[in-house]
Every structure is written in structure tokens, then in C-alpha cells.
Structure 1
Amino acid sequence: MSTAPLSLDRLAGIMAALRHKEHGCPWDLAQDFDTIAPYTIEEAYEVAEAIALRDMAELKKELGDLLFQVVFHSRMAEEAGHFALADVVTALCEKMERRHPHIFGDGTRAADAVAQKDEWERIKAAERAAAGAPERPVSALDGVATALPALMRAEKLQARAARVGFEWPDVSGVRAKLEEELAEFDAATDDTHRAEEMGDVLFVAANLARRHGIDPEAALRAGNAKFERRFRAMEALAGTAFPTLLLAEQEAYWQQVKAAERGLPAAG
């Protein structure tokens, strides 16, 4: 473990040098909030990937890259006269203290993690209500970022709706709704209608995952990884002939790979 002092000032100084109008880096000077935002999202996903791989050396690097994104945005905001990195850190500290009154306030502790999460959401809702504009009514769905991945956003929208009672009493209602949406997809008569109904199918599928305590975004990432692993294994077994095989022959390789993963004998 490093014993070097934590210095955000050094990092902020590096960013300031990169953005110096006369002596800075041409690439860094050419950037703005819109051009940097995709890199910020990418770095967050690379952090998640390092965590999934349990690669601590990579996680340290990716967390640094993500932190640099915060510094980059803060520097551009400071140049425009909006706020500086110190303001970001101060606002974060104040928010964490405000949302943890059991630690920094009266000391009243929640019964468990679930109750504490409910209290966190109650405080967030109060903050959103306090910040609401008269011309824009406060909604339970406020604060769910539109830039989130679609499955993740679906789960968060449904969780918010559930907190104000808009929820089937048991998971059987969600399952029935999924079957209803699949039937509507089958009955669609044109591409536009089919796309709309597929959106409904995916939205309800995300709700079904949520009701079972499954993170739909993480589940799909795992499904993607499993498919990629098995497909690459099929290609390795079949060699260069794989693209020319009949579907039934490719399926046989797929079943062979699945059996090998599960430690079962391949069908002969």
C-alpha cells in the first residue's frame, strides 16, 4: 500500500497544464463537455469490467482514468466560470453527510441495509422535491438519468414507480404481462409496431428480473460473455471450416461446448 499523501492539487495542476491556452496539449484544448462525455462513460464501464475480472491492478488504473474524467470536466467548468474541482468535492462531502444522518447526524441507525436504502431514497426524494421548479411538477421518476443504459434505466424507473405503489402485488402479474407483450409483438403488422412492442417486451423483462432480485444489466452482460465464450470455443473446435458448416453441424459444436463447460460427456 502506498504511503504517499493524497494530492488532488497535483492532479488538478496536471489538468490545468494540459488545458493551458498557450502551452497546453492541442488535443486536450480541443475538447468540450460533449466530446469528453463518451470517454467518461467508457471509463466507467472499464472500471466495471476490471471489477468483474477481479483484476485489482487493472482496477487501480481504471479508477485513476475515471477520476481524471472528473478532473477534466471540473477544469472545463472552472474555465467557463461555473465551478471548480474543490466545489465538486465539497458538494459531494455535504451530500454524503446529509444522506447519512445516522452517521453524521442524530445517530439513529436503520434496522438493516434495506431500511437504510429506503431512508437514502426518502432523503433523495426530499432533495428532488426541494429543487423542483413550480412549472415542472415533482415526479417519483425525477433523477433517473436518460443517458443510462436502457435496461438499467428500465429497472430504475420501475423501482421508483414501485416505491409509490405502482407495482403488481406478486411476480405472477409481471410474468403474465410479459406473455401479453410477447403476444402483442407476434401480432404486430409492420416494423414500426414490432419495434415498439419489442421495447415493451424488454421493459417487462427488466421488471421480471428486478422482482427476482436480479440486476438486468448485469445479467445481460453475463449472458453476452457466456455467448461469446461458447461461440469462440465452437470456432476453435471447428477451425476455419466453421462458417461453411450447416446450422445443424454448428449446433452440434455448440452442444459439445456446453457439455464441456458442465463437465458432461458430449453427445455421440
Structure 2
Amino acid sequence: MKEVSVYPDSNRKKKLEAFDRLLTIMDQLRMLCPWDQKQTIESIRHLTIEETFELSDAILEGDLQEVKKELGDIMLHLVFYARMADEQKAFDIADVLNGICDKLINRHPHIYADVQANDEEAVKANWEKIKLKEKGNISVLGGVPKSLPALIKSMRIQEKARGVGFDWDNKDQVWAKVEEEMQEFKQEEEAGNHEKATEEFGDVLFSLINYARFKNINPEEALEKTNRKFIKRFQYLEEASKKEGKQLGDMTLKEMDVYWEAAKKLK
């Protein structure tokens, strides 16, 4: 392995001491706390998922103090899983950390070996090829988790296909595909073929996600921003109309639209 020089971290000792403190507390909780003693790898899985979404919320809100808090919660879970696995003689936290270190070194041959990668695309391509070789997957797409939300899964599928060279040449080709898929959806929808229209609508979404990738837009982030914008405006509509003694269920769409337009002017 090629030797890589890094700047010394003046706070490294402090960081190691903090991690050691967490490991010690985890050991104490597992030995002394009735709730912690009762937990299994399976029982805290749903809690980990919840903590991950809470971290995502903090990131989207740009609240770094909340990000710090949520990272701590997730770090606790990671240490918890490793502690329980250690009890079963399966692996421990050192195995986990060494495993990810080995993987990072192996997947960055442009840093730790003599492979050339002068831009982000080359790094991604190398990563996918090495990953495919490591896992022995029959398909390039074999590493995409089946349970991923559909939008994120589409992004990962397209990224992996691009990693082995299966991709459009430019954004104009992709947009032409978007327009083609929209036309096909419209034809099936107008024909009253619901099942086929549903399939074509999926194609429209997939091609739009593809176009977003070419424009360096994260569709998950873009959609979430729109969700939050809609919520903010709709809640203004609710509050403003209520102050004037109106009920949404009794209002016409035209009346509600007055408040909606007012909400759009707010920052």
C-alpha cells in the first residue's frame, strides 16, 4: 500500500477518549440497565431507522446542533449493535471499524495504490467496478437494496449503470426521452388504460430523475423542498382563513386560492 501523509490532528487524543467513554458507558448499560439488557439486534432496528430520519430532518433544516445530537444517537446505536454481536462472538467494534477502513483503502486505489482517477466520475467508476468484484454480484445492480424507497432506488440504479458506461451522452438526449415518455403516458391515460398508464407514468418519473442527474439536481432533495414549501403555504392558508372565521371545508377553491397566492409572497 502506498504511504499517504496527512496533517496531524491535534484533537485526536480527545476524540479517542470520547469514543472510549461511549464504549465504557455501553458496557455499563448492557450489564446494569434492565431496558438495555433486554434489547436485541432486531429490537432496536426500528429505532435506528427513526433516528436516521431524525438526522435527515436536522440536515434539511440546516441545524448543525441538532445534527450533532442525532449523530450521537446513531453512534450509540452502532456501538450497541457491535456490543450485542460481540456477546454472540460474531464480531466486535474493532472488526467493524477495521472492516470499513479496509474497504475504503481498497476502493480508493487512486489514493493508496497507483491507479489514476483525475475527476469525480473516474472515482465513481472505479468504486463500482471494485465493489462488483468484491461482492461477486452477477449484476451491476445487485448491490441496490430492494427495500430502498423507489425514488432513491432509481437514482442508485442510474448511478450504477453509469459507472460501467451505460448512459446517455448528453442531457438533450435525456430530455427527448422525457418528452417521449410523457407522450406515451398521455396516450395511455386518454385511452383509459389505467394499468398501462401507471407503467408509463413510472417511465416518466424514471426519465425525469435521469435528467435531474444530468443537471446535477438531487431529485430527492428537490421533491422534499417542494413538500416543505407546500406544507408551509397550506398551513398559512389554514391559519389565515381561520383568523377570518372561515372553514376550509366551506370555502370554494377560488376563495382558498386568495390565501394561497398570499402565502406564495411570504419567504
Question: Which segments of structure 1 move beyond 6 Å, counting only runs of 4 or more?
Answer: none
TM-score, normalised relative to structure 1: 0.80
Worse overlay, 53-62 or 180-189: 180-189
What is the CA deviation profile of residues 209-236 of structure 1, one whole-angstrom value per residue up to 9, with x for unaligned ones?
3333221211111111111111112223
Could you tell me which of 89, 111, 123 is aligned with 1:116? 123
Report the counterpart of residue 27 of structure 2 in structure 1: 16
User: Which residue matches 2:107?
Assistant: 99
Number of residue-to-residue matches in the alignment: 249
In 2, Cα distance between equivalents of 1:30 and 1:188: 55
Q: Which runs of 5+ in 1 are unaligned?
A: 133-137, 262-268
Task: Tell me what 1:203 maps to.
Answer: 206
- SS of the aligned residue for 1:54 comes to coil
The answer to whether the 8 A contact 2:178-2:204 is kept is no
Task: State the alpha-carbon separation in 2 of the partners of residues 90 and 245 from structure 1.
Answer: 62
> Which protein has greater RCO, CA pairs closer than 8 Å, 6+ apart?
2
Q: Is 1:40 paired with 2:51? A: no
- State the distance in 2 between where 1:168 and 1:114 align: 14
Q: Which residue of 1 aligns with 2:239?
A: 236
Higher mean displacement: 151-160 or 11-20: 11-20
Aligned to 1:62: 70
Name 1:145's counterpart in structure 2. 145
Aligned to 1:258: 264
One-letter code aligned to 2:180: A
Q: Is the 8 A contact 1:188 1:197 kept in 2?
A: no
Provide TM-score, normalisation by structure 2: 0.80
Q: How far apart are residue 103 of structure 1 and its match?
A: 2.2
Share of identical aligned residues, percent? Answer: 39
Q: Is the 8 A contact 1:185 1:198 kept in 2?
A: no
Q: Counterpart amino acid of 2:260?
A: W
- Label 1:73 to 1:199 Cα distance change in 2 as closer, same or farther (>3 A): farther
Q: 1:6 aligns with which of 9, 16, 19?
A: 16
> Shift of the alpha carbon at 1:31?
3.0
Aligned to 1:159: 159
Q: Is the 8 A contact 2:234 2:260 kept in 1?
A: yes
For residues 165 and 109 of structure 2, what CA distance do their matches in structure 1 show?
26
CA distance in 2 between partners of 1:87 and 1:124 (Å) = 19
Q: Distance in 1 between matches of 2:186 and 2:76?
A: 44
Post-superposition offset of 1:200: 4.3
1:85 is displaced (CA, Å) by 1.1
Q: Aligned in 2, Cα 1:33/1:208: closer, same or farther, shift over 3 Å?
A: farther
Amino acid at match of 2:30: R
| Cα distance in structure 2, aligned partners of 1:145 and 1:155 | 12
Moved more, 30-39 or 72-81: 30-39
Contact 1:230-1:258 within 8 A present in 2 as well = yes
Return the offset for 1:168: 4.7
2:20 counterpart letter in structure 1? D
Q: How far 1:194 sits from its partner (Å)? A: 6.3
Deviations along 1:152-195, whole A, 9 cap, x unmatched?
111111222344454455211233124323543554556x6666
State the one-letter code of the partner of 1:10. R
